[in-house]
Amino acid sequence: MVIKIEPLSDALGAKVTNLNLEKEFSDSDLSALNQAFLKYHLLCIEGNPLSTFNFAKFAAVFGEPQMQLLRHRWDKENPEVSILESTYKTPESKPKDLNLVRLSGWHTDDSYFEKPAKATVLQALAIPSSGGQTRFSNTRKAFEEMPETVKSNIAELIAIHSYDTIRANARAQKLTTEETNETKDVQHPLVRTHEDTKLKSIYFNPNRTDRIVGMGRKESDDLLDVIYAWVTKEEFQYHHEWRLGDILIWDNRCLLHSVNVDYPIGETRKHQRVLLKGMRPV
């Protein structure tokens, strides 16, 4: 059967069907998947929950796995796979103000590293009965549709990415000493050029981008607030309604994501994740 690739929205994303996850992919399937990944920035593949071993094997088709920062989430047998559980286990764990849940903040994975992961591969292992969608926003499209004057004003700016920033609504997880040592502040261009497509996108992580180099706090905050409002416009977004076993693979170089953290207390929400190694943004 020939794989079928259909867009999921006007903003980004495509659904892949007729792909047999049990068999090794043919060269033509691989090339179709890679092309679709670069064109749509996100692929959704329906499946059943895989073992961590098989999930790691699947993800490795798209790139080299990168070890993730937070050790306590590593799977014991396959540590390149992290298990992410976002269940509200008690009523107290779900704040009234859902902005205080870190996952609700827009971000791109891993930007606190010099070489952030180029892509994230995520599979749903348990999903709540309502809510819990992952929202994506296309920062390539957002850049392309900016007025030319704004594009040229921000084109050469450099941003400082920190493990945490006072700009984010919620605080990041506590780190061990080893993890703290791996997360010194890094600088990335605010507009980056994709290595494979050569297209430019805004590389701004609202959960981690602290400030613009050479600007005072107020000037930098004002600019980042304007960019935030622009990149999170609805027209650039796609919201993914998870089904059990769905695998998403997305491009962190040109997408932001956040989670609708409004889902019932006590219902398990769990995913497995592999990050794929990327290059230094330029």
Instruction: Please give the residue ranges that form the binding site for Fe ion (CB under 5 A).
Output: 109
Q: How far is the CB of 35 from Fe ion (least distance, A)?
A: 25
User: Which of residues 29 and 109 has its CB atom nearest to Fe ion in the complex?
Assistant: 109
Residue 145, both tokens: 């549709």
Q: How far is the CB of 209 from Fe ion (least distance, A)?
A: 14
Tell me the residue number closest to Fe ion, measured at CB: 109
DSSP state of 7: E
The b/e string for 119-130 (b: 16+ C-beta within 10 A; e otherwise) is: bbbbbbbbbbee
Contact 202, 143 (CB under 8 A): yes
Q: How far is the CB of 73 from Fe ion (least distance, A)?
A: 12
Q: Within 13 Å of residue 128, how many CA atoms lie on the same side as its CB?
A: 21
DSSP state of 22: T
In the block, which residue shows the tokens 């941003």?
159
User: Which of residues 29 and 203 has its CB atom nearest to Fe ion in the complex?
Assistant: 203
Q: How far is the CB of 24 from Fe ion (least distance, A)?
A: 29
Query: Rounded to whole angstroms, how far apart are CA atoms 68 and 175?
Result: 13
User: Which of residues 109 and 246 has its CB atom nearest to Fe ion in the complex?
Assistant: 109
User: Which of residues 109 and 251 has its CB atom nearest to Fe ion in the complex?
Assistant: 109
